[in-house]
Copies of this chain bind each other. A is one copy, B any other.
Amino acid sequence: MATTTGKLSARERLLAAADELFYNEGVRSVGIDRVIEHAGVAKASLYNTFGSKDELIRAYLKGRQDLVARHVMAAVDAAGTPREKVLAVFDGQTAMYAEAGYQGCAFHRANAEAHPGDRIDLATKEYRAWVRELFTDLAVRAGAADPAALATQLHMIFDGNGMATRSDRGPGSTPFAKTAAGALLDAAL
C-alpha cells in the first residue's frame, strides 16, 4: 500500500518493475536481482511480500489480465452495435499493447516454457477462458448461428494478432484482424 507521503510501497514498486522487465524481456530471462534493483527494493522485501519468484510472476500476470480487460472492455463498451463490439475487441487489444512497446501477448510469452499445472499455466488458462467467454458472449449478442464456433475462430484471430504484433513490433496487423473478424462474423450469421 502507498504510504501517506505518496511514496509507493515496496509491493507496488516491485509489481511495476516486474511488469516492465517481465513483459519486455521475459519472465525467465529476468532474474530476481534485476527486478529488485529496478524497483529500488531489498531482496528480503520481495520474499516477505511475495514469497517466491513464481508468485511474483503470477501477480504480474494477474495485472496483465486486468490491463487487457480494462482496455478491451472500454473499447467494447464504447462501440455501438453488436457487430462493432466484436470488432472493438481488437482495438482494445492493440491499445493495450501500445502501452508497453508492442511485445504481444504477455501470456503467450510467459507460458512458452511453463510446465503443465504450474502457476503460469493456470494463470494462462484463466486468461484464455476469459477471452473465450467474452467472444462467446459477443457472438451470441451479434446473432451468430453457432456462437461457440465463432468464438473459437475469433480467438484464433486474437492470438494471431498478438503474435503478429510481437513479430512486427507494431500494430500493423490490427486492421487485417478486424477485417477478418468482420468476414467471419458475416459468414456466421
Which bucket holds chain A's interface residue count? 35 or more
CB-based nearest B residue for A26: B113
Other-chain residue from B112, B124, B149, B186 in contact with A187 (beta carbon distance below 8 A): B186
Residues in chain B near residue A156, CB distance under 8 A: 156-157, 159-161, 163-164, 173, 176-177, 180
Q: How many copies does the complex hold?
A: 2
Binding site for B on A (CB under 8 A): 25-29, 108-113, 115, 124-125, 128, 149, 152-153, 155-161, 163-164, 167, 173, 176-177, 179-180, 183-184, 186-187
| Contact (Cβ within 8 A) A160 B164 | no
CB-based nearest B residue for A151: B176
Other-chain residue from B29, B153, B160 in contact with A179 (beta carbon distance below 8 A): B153
- Most chain B beta-carbon neighbours within 10 Å: one of A26, A153, A187: A153
Residues in chain B near residue A176, CB distance under 8 A: 149, 152-153, 156
Other-chain residue from B113, B128, B184, B187 in contact with A29 (beta carbon distance below 8 A): B113
- Most chain B beta-carbon neighbours within 10 Å: one of A29, A176, A183: A176
